[in-house]
Structure 1
Amino acid sequence: MTQQLDETLMMLKQLTDARAIAGNEKESRDVMIEHMTPYADEIQQDNLGAVIAKKVGDANGPKIMIAGHLDEVGFMVTQITDKGFVKFQTVGGWWGQVMLAQRVQIVTSKGETIVGVIGSKPPHILSKAQREKTYEIKDMFIDIGATSKEEVAEWGIRPGDMVAPYFEFTVMKNEKHLLAKAWDNRIGCAIAIEVLKQLKNTEHPNTVYSCGVVQEEVGLRGAKTAAHKINPDIGFAVDVGIAGDTPGISKQEAASEIGKGPQIIVYDGSMVGHKGMRDLVVQTAEENAIPYQYEAIPGGGTDAGSIHLTMNGVPSISIGIATRYIHSHAGILHRDDFENTVKLVVEVIKKLDAETVQHIKFD
């Protein structure tokens, strides 16, 4: 029996089902535009494909940018072998051990979808040394059931075509736990949508730009162009963060747990979280009894790393949702963390008048 999804879960399903690796974000962008249109005063795009929804509270107030990124980690077709196997390039960071025997979907130049599997050798023919060695990504291939290079060409597959993980959105037995591909970063896109929705009939002393930006997974690229178009006074990156609540991860590696509230990222590989913004976010969370966690992620960056360097500088903060198994075919996060992050961002936005922004910038 298929579970009935409420409005929020349906939005999350549509966002995560979309196939959109870096440089091919159309499907997720179309979903985001559909959901933001009822709540935006204006929707525009930059030249790389970011979607920017504008909501005016005070036209003379500060400009607030909220950025989730539309792209997910995936692959790109690079070569076809004579026997019809597909060689590929990773797009974004992958660990080879999570890839073998996983199903993928190739979106062809004709716009069709062809399902394949990342091939692997059976253990029966592997030596002990081979079984103990990680299989290198450069040696992997995708089996789509073709018999020749010519057949693959007839199906419309060619180098440059997008390859996305193939996984079904699932509400787990504990209905707060949501399992899907591409939480990194469709949950940030969902936050940007829901913040706009919550502000629809709410006064706020600023203009909000709620964005889905592109090409984050290959170097925080789209946030640069979107931020230059907006020229914001304050920046938020909303993204996933690492959950440290599974076996084998120490508190030193990742301290956060799913269901324990949004992560306030004090440091990552692209930015030191702005102190004034961090203080305001923490104060707002405590005033509104919103649970929160601190996190530092020295091995990765977020779009705030690009936003904060725009023009003369933009005070910025990253807020994350602890997510298990990111940069794999499927991740798990907690619905309460999504809802609490939306609540926190909305309450902070309500405080960001011109005086407060000046205080953040120059105190």
Structure 2
Amino acid sequence: MKLDKTLEMLKELTDARGIPGNEREARDVMKKHIEPFADQIEHDGLGSLIALKEGDTNGPKIMIAGHLDEVGFMVTRIDDKGFIYFQTVGGWWSQVMLAQRVSIVTRSNETITGVIGSKPPHILPPEARKKPVDIKDMFIDVGAASKEEVLEWGILPGDMVVPYFEFTVMKNENYLLAKAWDNRIGCAIAIEVMKQLKDENHPNRVYSVGAIQEEVGLRGAKTATNKIQPDIGFAVDVGIAGDTPGISSKEAVGNMGEGPQILLYDASMVSHRGLRNFVVETAEDLGIPYQFATMAGGGTDAGSIHLSGTGIPTLAICIPTRYIHSHAAMLHREDFENTVRLLVELVKRLDTEKVKQITFE
């Protein structure tokens, strides 16, 4: 099918390769799409992208942050037969990894295809079939005859290894399947908010951020926040969709297509009460669907944003997404659109008086 401009942007963002510490390709795509709507583009010292849209230059600073990095792997060792061993970069569950195709990106930016090797079931004893394979025992096969051949191709320890998957619009065209939704969808939201504000007056300064190294400790959000020193922070990320078989309501409650998730609590942050109430009131005023969510483990860039400086009222707004931290995840286009709509309206309402009210609520 022919992709519209929004889908083309989403495809370019998710196709880009960028594990933590190697976000340049994804950052370049984000810059390409946000530059026409920004008054200024900067970077922090680690490489996060910071785009500014001026409204009232005396108004509060509003930060909207998605993170550029995706979970992936790093080459650590090449054995004599040319098989490649690796370190996970970001959180992986071993059962989603075997026999999956990957792309190794060399220092010269050449892409070499590989597959995470797996044993055929024919040679596995019954007890082994029931046990997950340890990640430390996994390897990548690039179809090389020797270590020397792998080295000749330019593959070296430290090289980035990225899951391979083709961006796919499903039969129901609201359902979008891709790698790296975590968290290129947050970057897309930050782009789209700025696009929709291009010809709008707003009583503040808006900073759309593509943060780096979220998956290894919310790092880029910390440095970007220190540079911006915002008055209000929003982290936009994926949330966990609880609408598939095997997930109970105790584990996750978000449903795809029923609106953005307002994250009440995770391991990195308790949401700011005043900002949360303001977001809920705005969504209800506009009839924008929303859901509440909690995560006992994990966190978002909001965890770093809210602790910067002397403390910043911060909220994480998430897109319910299936199958995150794997080769392919799925989300709903209307959730993306409703999140953009909500954030645009929040920006329009966040003047100095409202920020002061929120901060001390």
CA distance in 2, matches of 1:148, 1:110: 21
Question: Of 60, 63, 68, which residue of structure 2 is paired with 1:62?
Answer: 60
Matching residue's letter, 1:81: D
Q: Tell me which residue corresponds to 1:82.
A: 80
Question: Of 87, 96, 100, which residue of structure 2 is paired with 1:98?
Answer: 96
CA distance in 1, matches of 2:179, 2:151: 28
CA distance in 2, matches of 1:161, 1:47: 22
Question: Of 139, 142, 149, which residue of structure 1 is paired with 2:140?
Answer: 142
Partner-residue secondary structure (3-state), 1:217: coil
Matching residue's letter, 1:226: A
Mapped contact 2:94–2:135 kept (Cα < 8 A):
yes
1:340-351 equivalences in 2 (<5 Å): 340-351=338-349
Q: Tell me which residue corresponds to 2:253.
A: 255
1:99-114 equivalences in 2 (<5 Å): 99-114=97-112
- How far does the alpha carbon of each residue in 1:57-113 deviate from its partner, in whole angstroms, 9 at most, with x for none? 100000000000000000000000000001000000000000000000000122100
CA shift for structure 1 position 166: 0.4
Q: Tell me which residue corresponds to 1:197.
A: 195
Say whether residues 1:30 and 2:57 are aligned partners: no
- How far does the alpha carbon of each residue in 1:216-256 deviate from its partner, in whole angstroms, 9 at most, with x for none? 00000010000000000000000000000000000110001
Q: Tell me which residue corresponds to 1:355.
A: 353
Structure 1 alignment gaps of length 5 or more: none
1:185-224 equivalences in 2 (<5 Å): 185-224=183-222
CA shift for structure 1 position 298: 1.5
- How far does the alpha carbon of each residue in 1:173-210 deviate from its partner, in whole angstroms, 9 at most, with x for none? 00000000000000000000000001001111000000
- How far does the alpha carbon of each residue in 1:243-290 deviate from its partner, in whole angstroms, 9 at most, with x for none? 000000001100010000000000011000100110000000001110
CA distance in 1, matches of 2:75, 2:108: 14
Q: Tell me which residue corresponds to 2:50.
A: 52
Question: Of 147, 165, 168, which residue of structure 2 is paired with 1:167?
Answer: 165
Mapped contact 2:53–2:205 kept (Cα < 8 A):
yes
Matching residue's letter, 1:221: R
CA distance in 1, matches of 2:64, 2:149: 45
CA distance in 2, matches of 1:269, 1:5: 38
Mapped contact 2:274–2:360 kept (Cα < 8 A):
no
In the superposition, the TM-score normalised over structure 1's length comes to: 0.99
- How far does the alpha carbon of each residue in 1:305-334 deviate from its partner, in whole angstroms, 9 at most, with x for none? 000001000000000000000000000000
CA shift for structure 1 position 336: 0.1
Structure 2 alignment gaps of length 5 or more: none
Question: Of 308, 311, 335, which residue of structure 2 is paired with 1:310?
Answer: 308
The number of residues matched between the two structures is 361
CA shift for structure 1 position 123: 0.3
CA distance in 2, matches of 1:148, 1:243: 43
Question: Of 293, 296, 299, which residue of structure 1 is paired with 2:297?
Answer: 299
Matching residue's letter, 1:357: V
Partner-residue secondary structure (3-state), 2:215: helix
Matching residue's letter, 1:193: I
In the superposition, the TM-score normalised over structure 2's length comes to: 1.00
CA distance in 2, matches of 1:90, 1:147: 25
Q: Tell me which residue corresponds to 1:117.
A: 115
CA distance in 2, matches of 1:26, 1:254: 33
Matching residue's letter, 1:58: D
Partner-residue secondary structure (3-state), 1:218: coil
Mapped contact 2:83–2:140 kept (Cα < 8 A):
yes
Say whether residues 1:233 and 2:236 are aligned partners: no
Matching residue's letter, 1:133: K
Q: Tell me which residue corresponds to 1:337.
A: 335
CA distance in 2, matches of 1:201, 1:361: 28
CA distance in 1, matches of 2:207, 2:348: 14
Matching residue's letter, 1:93: G
Q: Tell me which residue corresponds to 1:270.
A: 268
CA distance in 2, matches of 1:291, 1:123: 46
1:276-287 equivalences in 2 (<5 Å): 276-287=274-285
Q: Tell me which residue corresponds to 1:128.
A: 126
Partner-residue secondary structure (3-state), 1:271: coil
Matching residue's letter, 1:141: F
Mapped contact 2:84–2:139 kept (Cα < 8 A):
yes
CA distance in 1, matches of 2:47, 2:11: 22
CA distance in 2, matches of 1:362, 1:288: 25
Matching residue's letter, 2:222: K
CA distance in 2, matches of 1:65, 1:328: 28
